[in-house]
Amino acid sequence: MTDTTEKAAFRAAARDGAAVPQPPPAPRRARLWRGLTPWLFLIAPLALLIIFTYAPIANMVAYSFTDWDGVSPELHYTGTGNYTELFTREDLFQVFFVSGYYLVASAVQIAAALYFATILSFNVRFRNFFKGVLFFPYLINGVAIGFVFLYFFQDGGTLDTVLGLFGYHSDHAWLGTSTSANVSLAGVSVWRYMGLNFVLFLGAIQSIPGELYEASELDGANRWHQFRYIIAPGIKPVLSLTVILSISGSLSVFEIPYIMTGGATGTETFVIQTVKLAFQFNKTGLASAAAVVLLLIILAVTWLQRRLVPDDRVDLV
Amino acid sequence: MNSRRILAGSVVALAVMASGCTGTGGSTKGADAKAPADPAKVSGTITVLTQRTDLVQDGTMTKYAAAFNKTYPKVKVKFQALTNYEAEVKIRMNTENYGDVLLIPGVIKKSDYPKFFASLGTETERSKKYRFTDFTTVGGKVYGQSPIGVMPGFVYNKKVWQKAGASKWPTTPAEFLADLKAIKTKTDATPYYTNFSAGWPLTSWTFVNGSVHCDTGATSKIADGDPWAKGADLRVGDQLLYDTVHDGYIEKDPTTTNWEASKARLAKGEIATEWLGTWAIIQFQDAAKKAGIDPDDIGFMPFPAQVDGKFCATVGPDYNQAVNVHSQHKEAARAWIDWFTDKSGYDKDNLAISPLKDAPLPTVLKPYEDAGVKLIELDDSKGAKVKLVDTESEVGINTPDYRQKLVDLARGAGKGSLDDFYADLSKRWTEAQKNAGS
């Protein structure tokens, strides 16, 4: 029996004033299957999530209460000792100042990504080519980027050569001082991750219906007006998501400084410090505690941001 | 800047390696790997872990295995080369599957050796024939044997030093600095190359220990005393590094140094000196050959310090080879270690010092014999405590960090004074000693 005939029968029964027949209940097995189906699809992702994310985190939390050195078969429960140590040693938190450089850089990064996404969402010559160019760095392996930029910043390396072409012969050791090294590294980070932000923004912008631009043009809006009153509010959710990711990302910068400087010359970030605690000084317990603290800090920052900028629905029309 | 995912990744990595813990130890504790009585009868397939990726790739290790099979025909040897040896082996050692023969990673506590490795014999018996036995001795039993002995020293370009008018080895740090100054003014070469970026070459400044005062008990002094007290070995070494950097005898931008490239540059005379070890000589000579330069230009000199008019150099083990306590073929594994140490010629191929007590010095150290350099072996009975104090204090005499800070300080990129720097190191070190017990 098809859906329509069923409805027809139902109507007919109602017209006749007869008792409305209940649709026959599906057999128990079928109902069971219907209930199980979504879970069957979810088994694989859930299993991966639990095995590779939640179980390790649970383990890490457990290790943060021990003095394990990462390899010895013996470990002792030390209670909250690691956390006490963590919070009574101010040198462990000083490294967060380095995150400031990356915070500033992520502001630059978001602005640049937004700028390019807006421009390339309109009809521009070679538009797809530029999209590719901007997104490309994100596809390169982080380790490779680290090495490439080591050559880039070398004395007499790519950067110096390029500047030389413009007649500027710098005698600057780019990774030589703490400030200059952090700015350089943050610059590499911008280069690498801007493509991702760009693609997110581009996708959001393109989901805005085209008629809105047409209508606004008829009303005499210029490009800036279109950006200010159509694009910016239209991509607000993506924008706030990007800001959250950038801030939490800035707090947990790792691979670029780790590969390029190894944390030398004042470029050590909290994660590099944690890795060093775990793998150089074999304080896996303390490092786990540090990782837990970082996780909590990031969760807190994200929560705070969500409270400050609630995720309201966009309604342009 | 979405490094959050990377963080998650490293967290996962941390925890995955952590979750495998406590799997080892127990019943096999204290097992012995006895030398086989009859070479023809030993059989089995053994896996040998090594950090020498280059030798596995170019087939040198297979050649060793083929030679080994002439004596032990029934043993099949397989190699696994690990690029990041320390980190990878450490994680694998949480399981029972870490090869049959492996190099003892630095992270393993000496007291844990019996839990991870099978004993090769007693110290009294092995020390008759081999050097460095006390570096792996726990409770009178030896757990590892290094196939080569290494000696720290300066690799230098003879021509550049001669051109600067320094034909004799400097005998004091002051003379060394004067020679570097001469190199800087009279030649185009960079007097000293820090390898700051690679980090580990800075770490090797720790091996200054012992040669300053020609003291075999230097390691015990670090364990129980203050390594940065005035005149202490490490401080003398650190001070020389500081002065070298501070007086501007190093490369222009240390933060972007390139270790691989530095070998060829030293051979060509663009770099004059690097503080490394005897193991590096052959690599620099190879670089010289590739650049079409006479490998004899590569020289090697001891730390500029003398006791009673004699230089002193410490001979120490490289990575020690050991047998996995869980190995199913302990005899075959032991056979490999014995053969590799005694008969493979690995030491000669690397121009290194033989671990056999009665073997002559390699020819490359002829100048050492001529100059009457006294070779000493440090007593390592307090080595475990040094390691413990080092990690507890987070000073890191075996990690690059503190010397990178020293170099930054010396070239004005770091804040603070040198005295405060030493004082801080001393304070952290001596405080950790109290916690580490004796």
- Scan residues 51-90 of B and list those with Cβ closer than 8 Å to A: 87, 90
Question: Does B4 sit within 8 Å of A252, measured CB to CB?
Answer: yes
Chain A / chain B CB contacts < 8 angstroms:
175
Exposed e or buried b for every residue in B389-424, given b needs 16+ CB within 10 A?
A: bbbbbbbbbbbbbbbbbbbbbbbebbeeeeeebbee
- Scan residues 375-404 of B and list those with Cβ closer than 8 Å to A: 391, 394, 396, 399-401, 404
Exposed e or buried b for every residue in A64-96, given b needs 16+ CB within 10 A?
A: bbbbbbbbbbebeebeebbbebbeeeeebeebe
Rounded to the nearest angstrom, the minimum Cα separation between A64 and chain B is: 11
Token pair belonging to B133: 């036995």
Residue of B15, B17, B107 with shortest CB distance to A282? B107
Residues of chain A in contact with residue B414, where contact means CB-CB under 8 angstroms, are 178, 265-266
Strand order across the beta sheet in which B310-314 lies: B306-307, B310-314, B374-376
Question: Does A264 sit within 8 Å of B401, measured CB to CB?
Answer: yes
The length of chain A in residues reads 317
Q: How is residue B147 annotated by DSSP? A: S
Question: Does B3 sit within 8 Å of A249, measured CB to CB?
Answer: yes
Report the C-alpha gap between B379 and A90 in whole angstroms.
Answer: 38
> Nearest-5° angle of CA B186, CA B191, CA B195?
160
Substitution target from A138, A252, A274, A294 for chain B, most B beta carbons within 10 A:
A252
Report the C-alpha gap between B10 and B4 in whole angstroms.
Answer: 10
Strand order across the beta sheet in which B101-103 lies: B75-81, B44-50, B101-103, B321-324, B117-118
Residues of chain A in contact with residue B405, where contact means CB-CB under 8 angstroms, are 264
Residue of B1, B15, B112 with shortest CB distance to A59? B15
Question: Does B256 sit within 8 Å of A157, measured CB to CB?
Answer: yes
Question: Does B107 sit within 8 Å of A70, measured CB to CB?
Answer: yes
Residues of chain B in contact with residue A298, where contact means CB-CB under 8 angstroms, are 4
pLDDT score recorded for residue B414: 86
Residues of chain B in contact with residue A75, where contact means CB-CB under 8 angstroms, are 21-22
Residues of chain A in contact with residue B110, where contact means CB-CB under 8 angstroms, are none
Which residue type occupies A196?
Answer: L
Residues of chain A in contact with residue B196, where contact means CB-CB under 8 angstroms, are 264
The burial of B243, by beta-carbon neighbours within 10 Å (0-12 exposed, 13-18 middle, 19 or more buried), is given as: middle
Half-sphere exposure of A12 (CA within 13 A, CB side): 6
> Which stretches of B247-380 are DSSP H helices?
259-268, 278-290, 330-342, 346-349, 366-371
Q: How is residue B365 annotated by DSSP? A: G
pLDDT in tens, A243-273: 999 999 999 999 999 999 988 889 999 999 9
pLDDT score recorded for residue B16: 40
Residues of chain B in contact with residue A178, where contact means CB-CB under 8 angstroms, are 413-414
**B20 — contact with chain A (CB < 8 Å)?**
no
Report the C-alpha gap between B211 and B114 in whole angstroms.
Answer: 31
Question: Does B14 sit within 8 Å of A253, measured CB to CB?
Answer: no
Question: Does A157 sit within 8 Å of B251, measured CB to CB?
Answer: no
Q: How far is CA B221 from CA B173, B225, B311, B374, B428, in A?
A: 22, 5, 20, 20, 16
3-state secondary structure B262-275: HHHHHHHCCEEEEE
Measured from the Cβ of residue B158, the count of other Cβ atoms closer than 10 Å reads 18
pLDDT in tens, A172-184: 888 989 999 999 9
Residue of B3, B15, B90 with shortest CB distance to A252? B3
pLDDT in tens, A19-53: 556 666 677 888 888 888 888 999 999 999 999 99
Residue of B4, B10, B400 with shortest CB distance to A275? B10
Question: Does A69 sit within 8 Å of B253, measured CB to CB?
Answer: no
Question: Does B16 sit within 8 Å of A56, measured CB to CB?
Answer: yes
Q: What rounded mean pLDDT belongs to chain A?
A: 87
Report the C-alpha gap between A149 and A185 in whole angstroms.
Answer: 9
Task: Tell how far CA B181 is from the center of its chain.
Answer: 29
Residues of chain B in contact with residue A106, where contact means CB-CB under 8 angstroms, are 1
Rg for chain A, CA atoms, rounded: 28
Residue of B11, B197, B253 with shortest CB distance to A60? B11
Q: How is residue B206 annotated by DSSP? A: G
Rounded to the nearest angstrom, the minimum Cα separation between A101 and chain B is: 11
- Scan residues 207-266 of B and list those with Cβ closer than 8 Å to A: 251-256, 258
The three-state secondary structure class of B372 is: coil
Question: Does B93 sit within 8 Å of A294, measured CB to CB?
Answer: no
Q: How is residue A55 annotated by DSSP? A: H
> Nearest-5° angle of CA A37, CA A42, CA A46?
150
Residues of chain A in contact with residue B253, where contact means CB-CB under 8 angstroms, are 154-155, 173-176
Q: How far is CA B331 from CA A174, B29, B42, in A?
A: 55, 17, 7
**Do residues A150 and A174 make contact, with C-beta atoms less than 8 angstroms apart?**
no
User: In terms of Cα–Cα distance, which of B13, B291, B350, B353 is closest to B152?
Assistant: B353
Helices (H) and strands (E) in chain B, counts: 19, 17
Report the C-alpha gap between A131 and B49 in whole angstroms.
Answer: 46
Rounded to the nearest angstrom, the minimum Cα separation between B161 and chain A is: 25
* The CA-based dihedral angle spanning residues B383, B386, B391, B393, taken in that order and rounded to the nearest 10 degrees: 180
Ordered per-residue pLDDT tens for chain B, 438 residues? 343 334 333 433 434 444 444 333 344 555 888 888 888 889 999 999 999 988 999 999 999 999 999 999 999 999 999 988 988 898 899 889 999 999 999 888 888 899 999 999 999 999 999 999 999 999 999 999 999 999 999 999 999 999 999 989 999 999 999 999 999 999 999 999 999 988 889 999 999 999 999 999 999 999 999 999 999 999 999 999 999 999 999 998 899 888 989 999 999 999 999 999 999 999 999 999 999 999 999 999 999 999 999 999 999 999 999 999 999 999 999 999 999 999 999 999 988 999 998 888 888 889 999 999 999 999 988 988 998 899 899 998 988 889 999 999 999 888 889 999 999 999 999 999 998 764
Question: Does A173 sit within 8 Å of B256, measured CB to CB?
Answer: yes
- Whether A157 shows a pLDDT value over 50: the answer reads yes
Rounded to the nearest angstrom, the minimum Cα separation between B353 and chain A is: 29
Substitution target from A98, A281, A294, A296 for chain B, most B beta carbons within 10 A:
A281
Question: Does A262 sit within 8 Å of B197, measured CB to CB?
Answer: yes
Rounded to the nearest angstrom, the minimum Cα separation between A262 and chain B is: 8
Residue of A53, A109, A248 with shortest CB distance to B12? A53
Report the C-alpha gap between B287 and A270 in whole angstroms.
Answer: 39
pLDDT score recorded for residue A243: 92
The three-state secondary structure class of B138 is: strand
Question: Does B14 sit within 8 Å of A264, measured CB to CB?
Answer: no
> Nearest-5° angle of CA B389, CA B392, CA B397?
60
Q: What are the two backbone dihedrals, phi and then psi, of residue B149, each rounded to the nearest 5 degrees?
A: -105, 145
User: In terms of Cα–Cα distance, which of A285, A283, A284, A257 is closest to A270?
Assistant: A257
Question: Does A282 sit within 8 Å of B1, measured CB to CB?
Answer: no
Residue of A59, A249, A281 with shortest CB distance to B2? A249
Rounded to the nearest angstrom, the minimum Cα separation between B155 and chain A is: 24
DSSP E strands: which ranges in B1-120? 44-50, 75-81, 101-103, 117-118
Report the C-alpha gap between B251 and B205 in whole angstroms.
Answer: 18
Sign of the CA dihedral with A159 first, then A161, A164, and A169 last: positive
pLDDT score recorded for residue A312: 66
- Scan residues 407-436 of B and list those with Cβ closer than 8 Å to A: 408, 411, 413-414
Residues of chain B in contact with residue A111, where contact means CB-CB under 8 angstroms, are none
